[in-house]
Chain A
Amino acid sequence: MSASPADLQDRNRHLTDLLHACAQGRQAAFQELYKAVSPQLFAVLLRILRRKDLAEEALQDALLSVWRNAGSYAADKGAPMTWMVSICRYRALDMLRRERREVSLDTDRDGEADEGEGLSDMGEGAAEASLISKAEERALDECMQRLNDGQRSSLRLAYVDGCTHEEIAAKVGSPVGTVKSWVRRGLESLKRCLEAA
């Protein structure tokens, strides 16, 4: 359900306008921005953090950071949504690091930590992916398809689920060293492929 390039451009321009207004302290613009982006960002955070309470905390922090730093957004940081997704992901990764330290490496985040309603049906595919162009999406898909299974799932588990090398290794049942090289090789092939596209 990707949008046409024109829609996407409008959408990005609109989000940029809202960020610009936020930078001037306009709270009404922030409210509109919140409505427009929070469900997608919340989905990203739930997927990584797997706990509703943590995802809520992260979303709060991330959006506050968007509000504070709206003025520093610029096109060289990517599309507005890409920029906001990154703020959320890095916040979530920081929180995971903190949690891990506190919970002394909970080996299987898949099992009991998987609480909270609605977390199970966070399938992919249904998103209103009007936030990224079809061409970019297709390029990534095609290049991901060219990777071997180990590389592909390692990259996905790292990016989408926020897994460490060790967690990926445990999930796919391969040695950590292998996973590390899958990630590196995967990145290298992906870069070559994307640049050729």
Chain B
Amino acid sequence: MNYEGSKLQNLLAGEYVLGVLRGPARRRFERLMMESRSLAAEVAKWEGHFASLALRLKPVEPPDYLWWRVMARVRAESRPRGERMRNTFWRTWAVAATVVLALVIVTQRVAPPPEAKPAQFALMSDTKGMPLWLISVHPEAQRVDMKALASNAPPAGKSYELWMIPDGGKPVPMGLMNETGLASETVPPELLARLSHAKALAISLEPQGGSPTGQPTGPVLWVAPLVAS
């Protein structure tokens, strides 16, 4: 490569890193970078030179719910590819089935006393889209029900713990899940009020008896939006 060529190459790499190389030129450059090691190296060099300008910005803590959203996507990604493909079918099916099932379960258990129906619920499914946990919020009864829809025992010495993901702020512990059947937690009005604004619920794997710190310490296994019924 002649001097002019490499000079131009360096300039374009700099403009690419700055971001002022735009439009079709930017895409052409990206294409060239795929086959030219030296071009990619120029880009990496500029990225390194300028990085201190970015790292000097004062860090800003992202909102807590972002972590849960990222994690939900990571979990979805982590499934084997074939399983994900099959999932498309299952998910479509499961979404429809879920709503029906949720309503059935919820109305069923509410049947005897004409107790209010749940205000919100969240359904967590396994990687095949089969429902595992149904969590329902009953504000009048000041109660949150956590129902295991399938047998799903945690590893020995561990517990599943439920968390509310508030709209801003840290996760709030909501109680431990029973491996089978139903667990109910009495919830004070303040917490119910926060629940009504919460975006999602999550279940993490914790030491037996629950998180020792009041915050999730183990991996987050399931996340589901909390929807109004």
| Physical interaction between A and B | yes
When distances are taken between beta carbons in the complex, the residues of chain A under 8 Å from B60 are 39, 42-43, 46, 118, 122
Closest Cβ–Cβ distance, residue A42 to chain B (whole Å): 4
Q: Which of A11-69 contact B (CB under 8 A)?
A: 25, 27-28, 30-31, 34, 38-40, 42-44, 46-47, 56, 59-60, 63-64, 67-68
Total contacting residues, chain B, CB less than 8 A: 39
B18–A44 contact, CB under 8 A? Answer: no
CA distance A65 to B73 in the complex (A): 11
Majority-rule SS of B interface residues = helix
- Verify if B59 is at the interface (C-beta below 8 Å from A): yes
The distance in angstroms between the C-alpha atoms of A25 and B74, with both chains bound, is: 9
Interface size on A, residues (CB 8 A): 66
**A109 contacts across to B, CB distance below 8 A:** none
Q: Which residues of chain A from 72 to 104 have any CB-CB distance to chain B below 8 Å in the complex?
A: 76-79, 81-83, 85-86, 89, 93, 97
Q: Is the CB of A93 within 8 A of B48?
A: no
Can you name the residue of chain A whose Cβ is closest to the Cβ of B30? A90
Candidates B14, B58, B66, B70; contact of A124 at CB < 8 Å: B58
Complex Cα–Cα for A122 and B53 (A): 13
* Residue B184 at the chain A interface, CB threshold 8 Å: no
Most chain A CB inside 10 Å of its own CB: which residue of B11, B50, B56, B58: B56
Interface flag for B61 (CB, 8 Å) = yes
Q: Could you say which residues of chain B place their CB within 8 Å of the CB of A118? A: 60
> A30-B74, A60-B69 known; A122 and B54 CB under 8 Å?
no
Q: List CB contacts (< 8 Å) of B64-94 with chain A.
A: 66-67, 69-71, 73-75, 77-78
Chain A residues, CB < 8 A from B59:
39-40, 42-43, 127-128
Give per-residue flags for A151-195: 1 if the beta carbon is below 8 A from chain B beta carbons, else 0: 000011011101111000000000000001001100110110010
A39 close to B19 (CB less than 8 A):
no
Q: A64-B77, A159-B18, A183-B18 are in contact. Are A85 and B56 (CB under 8 A)?
A: no
Would you list which residues of chain B between 13 and 44 have a CB under 8 Å from chain A? 14-15, 17-20, 22, 41, 44
Residue of A77, A79, A97, A159 contacting most chain B CB atoms (<10 Å): A159
Question: 4 closest Cβ contacts across the A-B interface?
Answer: A39-B59, A187-B14, A158-B18, A43-B57
